[in-house]
Homo-oligomer: A and B are copies of this chain.
Amino acid sequence: VSAATPERTRRIRADARRNIDALIDAAREVFKVSGVDAPVREITTRAGVGLATFYRHFPERSDLVTAVFRHEVDACADTAATLAATYEPLEALVRWLRRFTEFVGAKRGLAAALHSGNPAFEPLPAYFQQRFEPALGSLLTAAAAAGEIRDDVDPLELLHAVSRLCSPANVDHTGDERMVALLIDGLRYGAKPKPRSAEH
């Protein structure tokens, strides 16, 4: 009934995806400078995308803020697997927590929006948990299995602890890194050394 061949549908979907990605990328940059209430034109100009396209994908400002937040969460959560494949378990864990610290610190403008009471943002803490809990959980499990950290720490509690230590709401950030490092040393305290098996 329509002229939409599978090939054409794929191309349209790819175009839409490209526009959405460009808008999210532009919004991330613009939010950093002008905050989450930055004018739409700043974002569309930067993305090279028209206003109509913008409003088709993001009818409300909360849609855009949500998309940016989820993008940042995904980018951070996805590094866990990369780090696990690249580094020893403890090193991967430490590097990921540092990456997560950056995520927390960078969401200054987003954090205010998320706590604005807008019901559109209600699903986001669940998304935070859904992505970060398994990401950190697998790093903790690997490091504990390697005998480098203790095995009794709940990943979600640790995520919240690091979020609180480095929250953008804090006035003074001079000790942030040292206090996260102290938490990590707490993980290392009381680790059960891995029984040395026959290695070859």
Interfacial residues, chain A to chain B (CB-CB below 8 A): 153-154, 156-158, 160-161, 164-165, 167, 169-170, 172, 174-175, 178-179, 181-190
Is B179 touching A158 in the complex (CB atoms < 8 A)?
Answer: yes
**Does the CB pair B164–A170 fall under 8 Å?**
yes
Across-interface contacts of A189 in B (CB, < 8 A): 185-186, 188-189
Q: Is A182 a contact partner of B164 (Cβ separation < 8 A)?
A: no
Residue of B169, B170, B179 near A183 (CB, 8 A) is B179
Q: Which residues of chain B are near A185, meaning CB under 8 Å?
A: 185-187, 189-190
A153: nearest chain-B partner, CB-CB: B182
Judged by DSSP, the binding face of A is helix
Q: Which of B169, B174, B181, B187 contacts A182 (CB 8 A)?
A: B187
Instruction: Collect the chain B residues with CB atoms within 8 Å of residue A170's CB.
Output: 160, 164
Give CA–CA (A115, B160) in the complex, Å.
22
Knowing A164-B165, A165-B164, A167-B164 are in contact, say whether A174-B186 is a contact too (CB < 8 A): no
Q: Are B167 and A179 in contact (CB under 8 A)?
A: no
